[in-house]
Amino acid sequence: MKIDSALLELAKSMRHTATDAEHLMWQILRARRFMDLKFRRQHVIQPYIVDFYCHEIGLVIELDGSQHGMDDAIEYDAERTKFLEALGLTVVRYWNNDVLGQTDVVSDHLWNICFELKNTSP
């Protein structure tokens, strides 16, 4: 299936305007630094752009700012998660302030999820 070029352009621009939390998470995940897994950032999975994606274990990582606590955003995020899970993907969400303020806790949690997925994927 051909990927929408407008989505690809938007994903590219989002890589250049990363939040502090996204930048920190990318430093942890990039270049196979995390469990030797290859992650992509601002990756298109139509019709969405996900923050981080690991094809090898089918993992999507979403980082959420305070706007994700609003009712319409909660509903949108739930729909989005349902769509991605229907594709067989695992979706984990972290609050930006947790990534920035409790990096070790987030990393440990993510490590456990990746370990589990690595050991259950074919």
What pLDDT score was predicted for residue 52?
97
β-strands 48-54, 40-45 pairing: antiparallel
What pLDDT score was predicted for residue 69?
60
Which pLDDT tens digits describe the chain residue by residue (122 residues)? 677 888 889 888 888 888 999 999 999 999 999 999 999 999 999 899 999 999 999 999 999 986 656 677 788 899 999 999 999 999 999 999 999 999 999 999 999 999 999 998 66
Return the structure tokens found at 87. 């594709």
Q: How far apart are CA 94 and CA 78, in angstroms?
A: 14
> Would you say the C-alpha torsion 50, 83, 74, 92 has a positive or negative sign?
negative
Instruction: Tell which residue, 58, 52, 46, has the closest CA to residue 22.
Output: 52
Q: SS3 for 118?
A: helix
Q: How far apart are CA 115 and CA 109, in angstroms?
A: 10
Q: What CA–CA distances, in Å, run from 46 to 1, 18, 37, 115? A: 10, 20, 22, 27
What pTM value is reported for the model?
A: 0.89
Q: Is 28 exposed, middle or buried (0-12, 13-18, 19+ CB in 10 A)?
A: middle
Angle among Cα 5, 46, 78 to the nearest 5 degrees reads 140
